[in-house]
Structure 1
Amino acid sequence: MLAVDRRAVNTHVQWSGVRERVIAVKEAEHRARGRGPSRYPTFEPVLTPAEIAEVEAQFGVALPDEYRTFLAEVGAGGPGPALELTSLRRIDGKWGWVWEDDEDYPWLLDPSGPFVETEDWADQQIATLRAAGYEPTTRDEDDDYLDDYRKVFGDAGDGVWHLERGRGAIHISDNGCRMTGWLIVVGPHRGELRDRDCAVNPPFEPYVDANGNRHTFRSWYLEWLEQRERATR
């Protein structure tokens, strides 16, 4: 049985016309470059209510409503801010988020705890190491205790570190030049997005609009679409 707090789910969000607008933008961009229509679909297929319920049951969470309705009304992957959204696919019977069709390494949401903001990250790492019976001898905020993780967890240390750093969030987009976008699913900032470089110890920075307000999935996506529409005009 899926145990989620439905009070955290917003009212239904409509994406009316968005799929068609994105397709029109992509077609206009192709024409501007002197190219014919693409042979490939712009979006991944939408997901059925049963498939979305299967995703939520697998991970034991309710997806933010703006994203779950996007999956149902627009697509499970496709064009998006910077480059593209990751694609939510069922692979060998399990769901995961895939970038550039690399189905060997899908992102699997870890809902075991809330997403940890950058300013709290070092303390979280100390707590993890202590829980494993290891006491760090120095505070290593520059490298986020990665060497300590390797001592404690051996060959799995890098993987444990990276999975814990993305806990409670979905790798929602790859933005080029080692930049990534993340959608928070668990914790007090559920539904917000974060931007992150893939260096060893980068901060997660909130995506904000022109007024400094933090973006949700819908405002982030529509801002990008409106910018592309203006550019094509």
Structure 2
Amino acid sequence: MTDWDADGVRARVRAMAAADPRLERFGADTHRYALAAPLPETEIRAFEERHGIALPAEYRAFVAEVGDGPAGPDHGLMPLAVPRPEAGDDWAVDGEWEDDRRPGRLAAAFPLAEPRPGAIGADTEALTPGTLMLGELGCGMYVRLILNGPRAGEIWMLDPDWGGFTPVHRGFRDWYTAWLEQE
């Protein structure tokens, strides 16, 4: 299923914001419970064509029906099409966002057949082709969406210091819905 109850998601995000007016929940001070407008189909298709990919259906439907971030798990959902307004600050996630959009990077084959647990060090460049960074947890940890191969559509967490690069959710819907359902 790819259709989202956009009104239901927006209502839940508003309820989460009302329950956390001081933005004390982890990451809320970054995303501020704001949802950008959905992206037009022409913009999504142009992104896919420019990068030679087809976005996984659950994520594609979300940005088309609900919004292009930022309200979401951890420090929020990164936008697909345009950088955050404060891009260029010294926040490391902006560099990750830009790196993903280098020619050929998203369309490259995802290099792992199996998860890679444990410390992997600072050189993560070879592990992340064919993935799209969805968000940041802090301390150099990122949530990434696998774009191609047998693991396409899965959500993996990249924790180079301790956890490695491992799956955390079967798909975007599971990942985002788990955040919406948190108390």
Question: Given the two structures, how large is their TM-score scaled by the length of structure 2?
Answer: 0.74
**SS of corresponding position for 1:219:** helix
* Percent pairwise identity: 33
Does 2:172 align with 1:217?
Answer: yes
| Inter-partner Cα distance in structure 2 for 1:32 and 1:184 | 30
| Native 8 Å contact 1:181 1:196 kept in 2 | yes
The Cα of 1:20 is off from its aligned counterpart by 2.1
- 2:131 aligned with 1:169: yes
- Deviation track 1:25-79 (CA, whole Å, cap 9, x = no partner) reads 112211797xxxxxx7711221001111111111111100100111011111112
8 Å CA contact 2:144, 2:157 repeated in 1: yes
CA apart distance, 1:119: 5.2
Quote the Cα distance in structure 1 between the aligned partners of 2:9 and 2:70.
12
Cα displacement (A) at 1:162: 4.5
RMSD between superposed Cα atoms in Å: 3.1
Deviation at 1:88, TM superposition (A): 2.0
**Structure 1 position 53 matched with structure 2 position 53:** no
One-letter code of the match for 2:49?
A
CA deviations on 1:96-121 (whole Å, 9 max, x unpaired) are: xx468325732425134321227588
Which amino acid counterpart does residue 157 of structure 2 have in structure 1?
D
Task: Determine whether 1:20 maps to 2:11.
Answer: yes
Residue correspondence of structure 1 range 111-190 to structure 2 within 5 A: 111-117=106-112, 162-190=124-152
Contact 1:118 1:204 in 2 (8 A): no
Task: Determine which structure has more spread, i.e. the larger CA radius of gyration.
Answer: 1
Q: Which one has the bigger helix percentage? A: 1
Aligned length: 164
Within-5 A mapping of 1:35-114: 42-90=34-82, 98=83, 101-103=86-88, 105=95, 106-109=98-101, 110-114=105-109
Partner Cα separation in structure 2 for residue 108 and residue 53 of structure 1: 17
2:71 is matched by which residue type in structure 1? Answer: P
Distance 2:77 2:172 in 1: 11
Unaligned 5+ runs, structure 1 = 1-10, 34-39, 91-97, 122-141, 147-160, 208-213
> In the alignment, residue 88 of structure 1 is paired with which amino acid?
L
Matched, 1:205 2:160: no
In structure 1, distance between residues paired with 2:173 and 2:74? 15
Provide the secondary structure at the position in 1 that maps to 2:70. Answer: coil
**Unpaired runs of 5+ in structure 2?**
25-31, 89-93
Cα 1:83–1:143 change in 2 (3 A) is closer
